[in-house]
Amino acid sequence: MEKDIRLDSITAINTNLLRLSDPINFAMGDISPSISQQQRFREFIANSLERPMGYTPVLGEPAAREAVAEFFNQRERISITEANVAITSGAIHGLFMVLNVITRENGEVLVADPSWSAYDFPVRANGLWLRKVDFELDNIDQSDILKHINKDTIAIIINNPENPTGRIYPYNNLVKFIEKIASTPTHPWIILDEVYIDLVYKEDHPQSLISQLKKEPKLIVISSLSKSCALTGWRLGFILAREDFIKQIEKSIRATISCVPRLCQKALVHTLENFNYYNGLVIKLLKKRRDLLCEFLQSVKSVEFTLPEAGIYVWLDISKISRNTKKVTEELFFKKEVGVVPGYFFGPKGENFIRLSFGYEDEKRIRIGAERFISYLLNQTARDKRNQ
C-alpha cells in the first residue's frame, strides 16, 4: 500500500488516512463536532427554511453586513458600517477576492515563514507569486521587513493569531509593523488574516487590527466563523475594508459565486447574535483537548513546544529526534496510523517541526493517538542511543 500513497499535501494526508483501518487524525484543520449540531442552531435553521431562499445582494444581505459591523463596533469600540463589510464564502474566498482586485503582472505577496500552506492557492490562482520571509514580529524593532519589499510587492499577509504556531503577536508590535510597511515608497496592501482571533485560551482577548482602518487606507481584515464557532462547512466569512475597496470587491464576488447562499448568511447573523454562547462551547471543548494532548507531549523530554495561545495546533520541535520530518510523517502514518503534518509544508523555518491538530479527534481518540505518537518517539530515541 505504501507505494500507492503519497503524503505530499495536507489534503493528501487527510484523504489517505481514510484508507487505514483505525486512523487518528492530528492533521485535519477542521473542528468536530460543529456547533451546527447544537439544538439552538438546528431549530433556527429549520425555522429559516420556511422562508424563500433566493439570491441576495452581491455583497451580502444588509442584515448580515450590519451584524458583522455591529459585532466589531461593540468588541473593538470602533465605528464602521455595513459599507465596510462584504460577506464571503469563508475566509479563503475572501482572500481570493481581495487578491483578485489588487492583482497585477509579476506581482508578489509576502507571507511569514512559517505560515498557512494554503495561502499559495489564492495567490497563484490570481497570477501572483508568493514569497515566505521572516517577519520577526516578536522583535519588531529588529524586523528587516523593509529589505524584503520591492517594486513587485503588492501585498503582505499577516496571520494573527498564527497558524501553525498558535502564537498571538502583541497589538503594538503589529501596529509598528504596519507603520513600517506604510512608510515604503510602494506601500503594499496589508491583509490581516484574523480567523483565529476568537479562538483564544487566555483571558486577554487580542485586539483586532480593524481599529487601524481609518488611519491606514490600504488595510484589509479577513475573518470568518469557521474556527471560532466550529462552522467550517458553512463558509461564513467576511472582508472588512474601506468603503471604496468594498465596492471594488463586488465585481469579483459577482463573477465567482453571485452571492453567499441566503441560508448561510442567516446562520451568520444568528451565530453573531449568540456568539458568546457558541464560541464559549468551542473554546471549552478545545482547551480540554489542547491540555490533554500537551500533557502527553510534556512527558517526552526529547521534543519541545510552546503551549499554543490560540488556534487548534501544537507546533512541535522534533529536531532532537529527527531532522527528517518527511520520514517521521510517513512512519507515523504507515506504522502507527497517525496523521500529522510535516513543518516544511509551512515554509523553510518549519523543517524541524511537525504540526498536530487537536480540533478533530475527541478526547478518547486523542489519548489513543498520543500514546501511539509517544511510543514512536520513544522508540526513535532508544534507537538513536543504540546507534551512538
Side-chain half-sphere CA neighbours of 334 within 13 A: 13
More confident residue, 211 or 2: 211
Q: What mean pLDDT comes out for the span 243-263? A: 96
Angle 230-37-227 from CA coordinates, rounded to 5°: 0
Q: Is residue 24 left, alpha or beta, with left meaning phi > 0 and alpha meaning psi from -120 to 50?
A: beta
> With 90 as the cut, is the pLDDT of residue 146 above it?
no
Distance CA 83, CA 86 (A): 8
Closest CA to 375 of 332, 320, 318: 332
What is the per-residue pLDDT for 158? 96
What is the per-residue pLDDT for 135? 87
List, for residues 86-120, the tens digit of each pLDDT value. 999 999 999 999 999 999 999 999 999 999 999 99
Considering the chain, what is the average pLDDT of its residues? 94
What is the per-residue pLDDT for 325? 95
Q: Where do the domains of the chain lie, and which CATH numbers do they carry?
A: 2-30+277-382 (3.90.1150.10), 41-273 (3.40.640.10)
With cut-offs at 50, 70 and 90, classify the pLDDT of residue 379.
confident
Q: What number of other Cβ atoms are within 10 A of residue 226's Cβ?
A: 24
Distance CA 94, CA 222 (A): 7
- Residues near 337 by beta carbon (within 8 Å), at least 6 away in sequence: 17, 20, 21, 22, 23, 24, 372
List, for residues 259-280, the tens digit of each pLDDT value. 999 999 999 999 999 999 999 9
Q: Output the nine-digit C-alpha cell for 78.
A: 470602533
> With 80 as the cut, is the pLDDT of residue 283 above it?
yes
What is the per-residue pLDDT for 388? 45
Max Cα separation, the chain?
71
Q: What mean pLDDT comes out for the span 357-383? A: 92
Distance CA 54, CA 62 (A): 15
> With 60 as the cut, is the pLDDT of residue 370 above it?
yes
With cut-offs at 50, 70 and 90, classify the pLDDT of residue 382.
low
Q: What mean pLDDT comes out for the span 236-249? A: 97
List, for residues 159-172, the tens digit of each pLDDT value. 999 999 999 999 99
List, for residues 191-233, the tens digit of each pLDDT value. 999 999 999 998 888 999 999 998 999 999 999 999 999 999 9
What is the model's pTM? 0.94
